[in-house]
Amino acid sequence: MPEEGLADAFGVTEEARAKINLALHVTGQRPDGYHLLDMLVTFAEHGDRLGFLPAQADAFTLSGRFGGALAEDGGTNLVLRARDLLRETVGALAFPVHIHLQKNLPIASGIGGGSADAAATLRGLMRLWGTRLPEDALAMLALKLGADVPMCMESRPLIARGIGEKIEPVPDLPAFAMVLANPLKGVSTPEVFRRLATKDNPALSLAPRVPNTADWLAAIGAARNDLEPPARELVAEISAISAMLQASGALLTRMSGSGATCFGIFATMTAAEDAAAALHDARPDWYFQATETVSGGM
């Protein structure tokens, strides 16, 4: 079976969509060190894919372009942490399971790949194990796995505040044709935050209703990612890849999260696909992916 179809051979499958920070404002810092954020977030149709199957004993397998990099990462895999935490919560219902992760997204790249995988694991295992958790209990469990996991449980346009746990849907946000671009060079998130010049920046402010795509682009353009300037200091390729997106016809470019993934919004999917192909030809050693984001009315 082709590698890209491995997850589909499993009885239950879940998409783990890439999380895109259209805007990220750092508005303060809690006494425990966590930063307070205002974020406008959307999700791409492209992402990782997970499959779940009953098994005699727990198993975890990997495929996809970045599966090998994840296997070599040496960190604690959020998929396994999500499995174990949910098992502790539901008890005897949690029989052994084989989980397969098709890792299509670069790791540690500012687009929530690990968090999206964890959220997809929670959704998939609840289906496989035939169990449901109360909404508040599930939200608390997701937050234990990381501040981005509750957003990835939603996987739809939203505004997130606090450390990411205060979530408000944005039903008016349209879909965007987009190119995701990453130089495949890591960025230290703690170092990015350490280099922030100010940590009490103005909050995200959006009109109650934004009527059309052009107005949304203007509103997003007037917002910012406060982590982008320090990330550019650390990884010069972020500036280069943003300039490449602009030169390819992007209507708006920005870095997502703490980097190093940048995105360019294009007028049409055809324009995005053409740009991604040309950028890949120019830098085949980097990551370029044309995609479309989900709309708020999904």
Q: Per the residue annotation, which of 19, 38, 48, 172 is the catalytic one?
A: 19
Tokens of 283: 């830098």
Could you give the dihedral angle defined by the CA atoms of residues 153, 27, 256 and 80, in that order, rounded to the nearest 10 degrees?
-40
Contact in structure between 251 and 267 (CB atoms under 8 Å): yes
Annotated binding site for ATP: 106-116
103 is catalytic: no
- Bond before 260 cis per omega within 30 degrees: yes
* Cα dihedral sign, 208-246-291-183: negative
Check 38, 48, 117, 148 and give the catalytic one.
Answer: 148
Tell me if residue 19 is catalytic.
yes
As a whole number of angstroms, the distance between CA 236 and CA 259 comes to 12
**Looking at this protein, which amino acid is placed at residue 84?**
D
Annotated binding site: 106-116
| Strand ranges (E), the chain | 12-29, 35-54, 59-63, 97-102, 158-162, 166-169, 177-182, 252-255, 262-266, 287-292
Residue (of 189, 74, 90) closest to 132 by Cα position? 90
Catalytic residues: 19, 148
